Each structure stands twice: as C-alpha cells, then as structure tokens.
Homo-oligomer: A and B are copies of this chain.
Amino acid sequence: MTDSPSDASGLAADLSGPLADPRDHDPVFPFHKGGKIEVRPTVRVRDRAGLSLAYTPGVARISEAIAADPELAYRYTWKANTVLIVTDGTAVLGLGDIGPLAALPVMEGKSLLIKEFGGVDAIPMCLDTKDTDEIVDTVVRMAPGFGGIILEDISAPRCFEIETRLQDRLDVPVFHDDQHGTAIVVLAALLNAARVTGRALSDLRVVISGAGAAGVAITDMLLEAGIGDLAVADSRAIVSADRTDLTDVKADLAQRTNRAGLSGSLNEALVGADVFIGVSAGQVPDDVVAAMAPGAIVFALANPHPEVHPDVARRTAAVVATGRSDYPNQINNVLAFPGLFRGALDARATRITPGMKLAAAEAISRVVGDDLAPDYVVPSVFDTRVAAEVSRAVEAAARADGVARA
C-alpha cells in the first residue's frame, strides 16, 4: 500500500501506541511488520474503458487466445516473469523443521531479493504437508501460471526426489536453491581461490563436511567442473563404499567420490587436503586445519557458527570463506539465484542444466576480475554487475544446451 518502501538503513518504525510490543527493542521486528512484499497492478484502471480492457469484456479475448495457443500466456500474463518459491518448512536456515508458517518470513526475504537483484516476481508458497508425493502433486497442480519453481528449505533426502520428480513432470525450471545455489557460489569461489593460489582444479584434493542437500550438490558441481579428488564426510565418517550404514543418496555419493579410498574420520581425511568445504553444523579443531596442505583453502560455511573461526583458519590457510557478512569472502546464494532465474526466464528455459549452473559460477568468479586477492574471491552481493553477468551467461548456456524456448 505504500509507494515509498521503508528503508533498512534508516529505520523509522513507530514504537509507541497500541501496537507497541516488547519485540520492538529488536530492530528486526519493526522491519518485518506487515511483511516485506506486496502484489501491485502494473496497469491502471481509472474508468469504464479501462475496466473493459483489464477485466470483462476485454479480458475474455486474452483468455480465448491463450486457450487456443497456450504459449501466448508467456506474452499476455505474468507467467514469463513469475516463479513460485515452495517450501514445507522442514529445513529452514539453521532452525530445522519449524513448519510452513514460520518459514514464510524467509520466503518473503527470498522474494524480495530475487526481485531486487534479478527483476523476477516470486510468490512464497509454504505448504502444509511434508509428504513427498503430496508436495510433488501439489506443485504440479499449482504450476500452470508460473515460469519456474524454486524449492527452498526442504530437508534431505526428500529434497532430491522432490526436485527430480517435479522436473520430470514440468516444462519449466525446477531448482532447489539450498543445493544448487550454494554449489554455484562455492564453485565460483573455488575457481578464484585456485587461481589466487596458483593451482588447477584438477590438482586439488577436496574434503566436504556434510552430506545433506548442499554437500551432495557441491559434490556434483565440483565433479562436473573437473576437480581432482573429492571425499565427503557425514556426521559419522568419510562416505566410502565399504560403509554399511549409507542411505541411497550417500551410497550413490560413495560411488562417485573418494577415489583415494579414504575411510575414518573427517579430521583424518583433512590431513594434507587442499580444500575444506564445510556445510554441516560440526566443528573442525584448529590443529586439524593447520594439518592441511600448504596454501589450504577453507570454506567454513556453517551459519551462524563456521566450522572453524575464520581468524583461526586464516593463520595457516591461504584463502578462507564463510557464510557470514562480517568477514571477507561471504558465500551467499544471493550471488547466484537472481541472475540464474533472470537468465533462465529470459531464455524461457525448460530446465536448469549443469551447463547453466557452471556458466553461472564462472560468471560470478569473472566479476572479481583483476581485483582477485585471498580476501576477495567472490564479489559483494551488492555488486550490480553480478546478476547482469550471471543472467547473460545462463541465458547463453540455455541456448547452447538446447533448453531455451525463447
């Protein structure tokens, strides 16, 4: 209802009056009052002639045209620029299974960011079911009016199956951001970390802590990008073919990783490793980080508490990145998803291919350019070149991969 959005850097919330609340001492609460997004007309209806164009009888001609040729929906409705952000509230930030309603503020935040940085309209959709079949069926039924589906904060391993089944049934991109968004930005940072330390990806030995959504997607992406060797640890040990306690997803992971045949603990695997990527809640002792190879690369992405404190890691590692905004090299999905969906929608892509994700990662790393330094392997999330570069690269990759329809 407001024409002048309130400003995060100049809060002016009214803390007095009948709505005063103990929470108002925390600037986060007044900032979120009334939510963070709205739906607005893009056309104005001021008289009967306008009403006849926007609504009956005029709109019937648009509906008839789309009924005759469904592709026209991309031209005469909001579909071409609008995506659903779907969650079941089972893996929200670091909070876990807090339910669909409590996930809504996060989905609104995502909607805000994808509009702000990518110009994409996004609808939060917080589903009151955790059942895989129900989620898939529900999203398929909702899909006609949307140009893409972003899955968000859905716990593993259901997230893998849900994404795969939805993409099989829909002809618009289905993208689980906790997997691929994170993986894209990790690869972007790793490309630059390798460059600044003078090494090739193919020479790196990588250890990933965490075999959930992000861990699996990072693994896939790094293998796709030609990483040398890679092992994944879950909360018990290194994922290896000789373990008998693996889920299907992890057993599959064991087939594709751990070329060196490591077994045992994460800490053992880290001795002499070139790269540590933490996407778990666990901690890594200081001396284990120190036992990594010279010029080590440490991405400690657990939030809000990185697996190792960045100041400590920086004593022995050459490059350190975290998920935090108050340290250098913030690995933030915001670098990826707005430009990625901008590009995918512009190409009217039917899916997000590995090539499109790779193109996004390379575009993010390219923006750093000649400013590359150990403390600057990823651009700032406020660097407006990022979304523009990513969308261009993703759109081109969609065409190259033959999934573009526009």
Q: Is A235 an interface residue (CB 8 A)?
A: no
Instruction: Check A63–B23 contact: CB distance below 8 A.
Output: no
Binary contact track A23-42/B, C-beta < 8 Å → 1, others 0? 10011110111111111111
Q: Complex Cα distance A13/B68, Å? A: 24
| Binary flags per residue of A140-178, CB closer than 8 Å to B gives 1, else 0 | 111111000000000000000000000000000000000
A325 pairs with B48, CB closer than 8 A: yes
Chain B residues contacting A398 (CB-CB under 8 Å) are: none
Take A41-B5, A43-B6, A108-B78 as given contacts and tell me if A303 and B57 are in contact as well, using a CB distance cutoff of 8 Å: yes
Q: Which of A115-123, A224-232, A277-285 lies at the interface?
A: A115-123
Indicate if A62 sits at the interface (CB-CB under 8 A). yes
Query: A76 — which chain B residues lie within 8 A by C-beta?
Result: 29, 32-35, 105
Residues of B within 8 A of A33 (CB): 75-76
Q: Does A64 contact B (CB under 8 A)?
A: yes
Q: Which of A89-97, A246-254, A258-266, A386-394 lines the interface with chain B?
A: A89-97
A373: Cβ under 8 A from any B Cβ = no
Contacting residues, chain B, for A334 (C-beta < 8 A): 51, 55
Whether A383 sits at the interface, judged by CB under 8 Å, is: no
Task: Decide: B112 and A43 in contact? CB cutoff 8 A.
Answer: yes
Instruction: Give min CB distance, A97 to chain B, whole Å.
Output: 9
Assess the B67–A95 pair: CB atoms within 8 A: yes
Residue contact A67 to B142, C-beta cutoff 8 Å: no
A322 CB, min distance to chain B CBs, angstroms: 12
- Is A141 in contact with B119, judged by CB distance below 8 angstroms? no
Query: Which one, A127-135, A210-218, A352-360, is touching chain B?
Result: A127-135
**Residue in B1, B29, B145 whose CB lies within 8 Å of A119:** B1
Which residues in B have their C-beta under 8 angstroms from that of A293?
none
Q: How many copies of this chain sit in the oligomeric assembly?
A: 2
- B44, B129, B140: the one within 8 Å of A7 (CB): B44
Most chain-B Cβ atoms within 10 A of its Cβ — which of A28, A42, A126? A42
Stretch of A79-87, A182-190, A312-320 contacting B (4+ beta carbons < 8 Å): A79-87
Roughly how many angstroms separate A151 CA and B91 CA in the complex, as a whole number?
31
Which B residues lie within 8 Å of A5 (CB)?
41-44
Bound: A55/B104 CA distance, A = 12
Answer yes or no: A202 CB below 8 A from chain B CBs.
no
Name the CB-closest residue of B to A35.
B78
Q: How many residues of A contact B (CB 8 A)?
A: 109
Contact A53 B78 (CB under 8 A): no
A361 nearest CB across to chain B (Å): 21
Closest to A106 in B: B59
State A381–B57 Cα separation when bound (angstroms).
15
Closest B residue to A126 by beta carbon equals: B145
A82 to B1, CA, bound (A): 12
A51 touches B144 (CB 8 A): no
Separation of A66 and B57 alpha carbons in the complex (Å) = 43
Measured CB to CB, the closest approach of chain B to A189, in angstroms, equals: 18
Decide yes or no whether A294 CB sits under 8 A from chain B.
no
**Contact yes or no, B141 A9, CB < 8 A:** no
Q: Do residues B36 and A78 form an inter-chain contact, with CB atoms below 8 A?
A: yes
A-B contacts, 21 of them at CB < 8 A, read: A8-B45, A8-B50, A9-B46, A29-B62, A32-B76, A34-B42, A35-B80, A39-B121, A40-B115, A41-B112, A46-B382, A48-B381, A56-B323, A63-B92, A63-B98, A70-B101, A70-B102, A79-B104, A101-B144, A107-B145, A138-B138
* Interface residue ranges, A against B (CB under 8 Å): 1-2, 5-9, 21, 23, 26-29, 31-67, 70, 73, 75-82, 92-95, 98-113, 115-116, 119, 121-129, 134, 137-138, 140-145, 303-304, 323, 325-326, 334, 381-382
